A and B are shown apart, each in its own frame.
Chain A
């Protein structure tokens, strides 16, 4: 046990927590903003799959990670706008739109991958991992000076460009939501769409913007998956991160900082699972840890929230009776 704790207390372990949290964090921010606008986008998983594929393919054909990265972002945004069209214009239940995108994201990406690359190695499996080299991935960044600090330097420096962006976006999204008029409008639409509309806010436009933002974040997340986390795209590589992000959004109370902490908790759970299997635990027992932590986290959060609401109610009732 002590030995195991020693393994955990290494900078590599903390480094891996941050690395694993990054894609979940992107998706969590996406979930937070659409939730603020009053709806849920459960298609994050599928959006990330499509973005991951397009990023990987375009970087290969263009020969540069930058174009692939842009393609991943564009894919996320365009697809989310299409989702918005179905949800807002054709009045499809937004949950069902999400399910449809996830369905296509699983098998449809494999179809596109096979068709575009003409790779049909094996019967079911195809991936772009064979095409992608290190130079086609988004680069890692060593922060000067910081990397000289003992322990902390090894934890914080040397991450992927996108990992830093993920944490930067926590700040930016928070500022966007609370310090800009756009953020005010998004929150107003989510709080009460009719009231927002009555003071001249275009509800539809705000909803599309929130949707596009979630697509952009999914684009970042997808690009991270296929161009930083792994070298190249493979089937079902997002493996539930889009869903975990929905839980992280709920656990974080719908706020950016809380969402970030929740994403880190999931990152921790997954990093722990990887370490567990490294010391001999069956990987089939280690793999479900993040998913189980998600359910437990949701329950704990719900209990805490309900207690708080109860306390508030009883406090309010006491105050009322005292007045009398």
Chain B
């Protein structure tokens, strides 16, 4: 199949998957919409859909009409910061066919360690956030050694192990916060404030950027995407990771150190998740108050699936998820549809993107068409001679 046809197929397939998910969403919204008559419900559904699909960029009001809202776009971009990191983390780990689901715990632990470094380590501005974030990433990378080594040495399922680690990380952090680290003068369980030197500032200091917390973290996230892409597609190690994911036995027989590469991929995955948590913490908050797993790890898995484990596609997928999530939030506020609709939509899109045989009939047609064209061309060439 030609490259252009391949591309066209991928795009059409993605669009159909999204359309199906939106259809499911529409049905669910219709069921949950307020209204006594069919007509009322239809009207409410239309309103909710409008908020969900266009709301993230436009504000609708009766007085001034529809207007573009820069703040909401900035919100979406800011919301991409942690999920780009978890998306990259999952990409790297899943590329080696290792279903490590520890990005969820990893981002919480990274955020926690970075927060502690931001509170208790006296350093000067500029260096402080760098050290704190690197520390957060490094600690999570070390923790990810546990599932990785258990898998390679003892063949213990990395999936179960990493899932259990998520719970353990959450409870241990809660314990440490409650018992030792909480600022007792506050009503809620939260840490002392970060040192000012640790703050990651907004890219531009105006109301839109600082209100949305669109910080330099976003730039770092994009840099991470590029580095990750270069690593996966332009380095020996990245090649090894992808080969092991495609065919582990083949990689082994061609002399790759499979165990070492698997450990490396999860070290890197852990580092990315941890650093992402740290950057989110220093950019968005002034003290640590997370008391539950933040959910970014699961979104990261969806993003990795949407991106087909390709780091370069992660920002696009992250933007899509952030857009959808913002839309669902707005819908919950203005149309009284519970915001958790996002989880169902996310699940449906996820399923159809991961389904290899979805629209396989259409692909078959394209392949046949390409083959026929090639034969015709060959024939024409022969006759020409």
Contacts and interface: CB of A to CB of B under 8 A. Distances in A.
A303 B179 CA distance: 36
A99 B357 contact: no
Given A92-B355, A302-B154, A103 B346 contact: yes
A42 B167 CA distance: 17
A243 B156 contact: no
B150 interface: yes
Contacts of B154: 299, 302-303, 306
Contact of B99 (A95, A284, A287): A95
Contacts of A63: none
Contacts of B101: 99
A263 interface: no
B172 interface: yes
A225 interface: no
Contact of A92 (B157, B159, B164, B356): B356
A175 interface: no
A111 B343 contact: yes
Interface string A96-139: 11011101101110110011000010000000000000000000
A149 interface: no
Nearest to B150: A299
Interface stretch (B76-84, B222-230, B264-272, B334-342): B334-342
B160 A115 contact: no
A95 B350 CA distance: 12
B171 to A, nearest CB: 4
Nearest to B155: A302
A291 B164 contact: yes
A103 B302 CA distance: 10
Sorting the interface of chain A by its residue count into under 10, 10 to 19, 20 to 34 or 35 or more gives 35 or more
Given A96-B305, A115-B32, A292-B164, A108 B347 contact: yes
Given A96-B350, A108-B340, A115-B338, A298 B357 contact: no
B178 interface: yes
A240 B346 CA distance: 21
Interface stretch (A16-24, A83-91, A190-198, A252-260): A83-91
A270 interface: no
B161 interface: yes
Nearest to A295: B164
A96 B354 contact: yes
Nearest to B101: A99
Contacts of A306: 154-155
Contact of B171 (A243, A284, A303): A284
Contacts, number: 137
Given A97-B351, A99-B301, A103-B346, A284 B178 contact: yes
- Among B157, B302, B342, max chain A CB count under 10 A is at B157
Given A110-B338, A243-B163, A250-B157, A90 B355 contact: yes
Nearest to A120: B338
A247 interface: yes
Nearest to A303: B154
Interface string A279-305: 000101101100110110011001100
Given A115-B338, A298-B157, A91 B357 contact: yes
A275 to B, nearest CB: 17
Given A284-B171, A288-B172, A298 B150 contact: yes
B325 to A, nearest CB: 11
B97 to A, nearest CB: 10
Given A89-B357, A90-B358, A240-B167, A100 B340 contact: no
B377 interface: no
B347 A110 contact: no
Given A285-B171, A291-B167, A243 B160 contact: yes
B171 A294 contact: no
B340 A111 contact: yes
A91 B355 CA distance: 6
B28 interface: yes
Contact of B159 (A42, A97, A101, A303): A42
A323 interface: no
A255 B167 CA distance: 27
B343 A104 contact: yes
Contact of B168 (A104, A108, A247, A291): A291
Contact of B167 (A89, A104, A111, A288): A288
B160 A108 contact: no
Contact of B355 (A86, A111, A120, A284): A86
B172 A95 contact: no
A108 B164 contact: no
- Among B155, B337, B344, B351, max chain A CB count under 10 A is at B351
Interface in B350-385: 350-351, 354-358
- Among A107, A292, A303, max chain B CB count under 10 A is at A107
A114 B340 contact: yes
A108 B28 CA distance: 11
Nearest to A96: B354
A108 B298 CA distance: 14
Contacts of B163: 240, 243
Contacts of B146: 295
Nearest to A302: B154
A294 B355 contact: no
A111 B338 contact: yes
B208 to A, nearest CB: 26
B153 to A, nearest CB: 9
Given A106-B343, A115-B32, A287 B301 contact: no
A89 B355 CA distance: 9
A145 B343 CA distance: 50
B174 interface: yes
Contact of B175 (A246, A285, A292, A295): A285
B31 interface: yes
Contacts of A247: 157, 160, 164
Given A292-B168, A299-B156, A302-B156, 5 more contacts: A86-B351, A93-B356, A111-B28, A111-B340, A302-B154
30 contacts: A90-B357, A91-B356, A92-B355, A93-B354, A96-B350, A97-B354, A99-B301, A99-B350, A100-B350, A103-B301, A103-B346, A103-B350, A104-B343, A104-B346, A107-B343, A107-B344, A108-B343, A108-B347, A115-B337, A120-B338, A244-B164, A247-B157, A284-B171, A284-B174, A287-B167, A291-B167, A291-B168, A291-B171, A298-B157, A306-B155
Q: 8 closest Cβ contacts across the A-B interface? A: A107-B343, A90-B355, A111-B340, A284-B175, A104-B347, A302-B154, A115-B32, A288-B171
